[in-house]
Amino acid sequence: MTIEELQKYLEQEFANIDRVVGELFSVYSPEKAEYTFSEQAAIATFIVNIYSGIEKILKQMLLFDKLDVQDSPEWHEKVLRKSSEIGILPPDLFQILTGYLSFRNYFIYNYVFTIKWENMKALSDATKDVAARVKSEVNEYIQTI
C-alpha cells in the first residue's frame, strides 16, 4: 500500500465514522432522560461501530508501518498499545479508547439489557470529541511518514 492509498483509506473510514456518529445522534440526545430498549440497543451498536472504525484505522496504519498486529486473541489490545507506543495516540486518548474497547468487548459477549445506561451515556457524550481527536492525531502522525 502506498501513502496515497493509505490516505484514501483513512478518508473513507473517517467518512464512515462520521456517518455513524450522525446516526448515533439521530437516536441519542444528551437532554433526553429515558430510552426504550430498542433505542439503547441502537445506541450501543453505534458506539461499537464507531470504535470498530477507529480500530480499523489504527490497525491499517500499523500494518503500513510494518508492525505486527496479526490476528490473535489479544490483537484488539495490541492495536491500541502499539498505536500509543509509536506516537499515534497520546496517553490520555489511549486510555479513553481503552474504555471504548472494554465496552465493545462487554457488548459482544453480553445481553444489551445488562449494559448500564450511565456507561453508554458517558461514551455517547464523548463520541464526537473522541472521533475528532483520533482524526487529528492520525492526520498529525501521517505527516511524519
CATH 2.60.40.2550 fits domain 3-142: no
Confidence (pLDDT) at 74: 85
Whether the pLDDT of residue 132 is over 90: the answer is: yes
Averaged pLDDT for residues 48-66: 95
SS3 content of the chain, % helix, strand, coil (to 5): 75, 0, 25
In which band, very low, low, confident or very high, does the pLDDT at 95 lie, cut at 50, 70 and 90? very high
Confidence (pLDDT) at 75: 87
Whether the pLDDT of residue 68 is over 80: the answer is: no
- Residues 3-15 pLDDT 10s: 999 999 999 999 9
Confidence (pLDDT) at 20: 98
DSSP conformation letters of 40-89: HHHHHHHHHHHHHHHHHHHHHHHHHTT----S-TTHHHHHHHHHHHTTSS
Bigger pLDDT: 28 vs 74: 28
Spans of all domains in the chain: 3-142
Confidence (pLDDT) at 69: 75
**Mean pLDDT over each residue of the chain, to the nearest integer:** 94
Averaged pLDDT for residues 76-85: 94
One-letter identity of residue 38? S
Confidence (pLDDT) at 67: 83
Confidence (pLDDT) at 1: 87
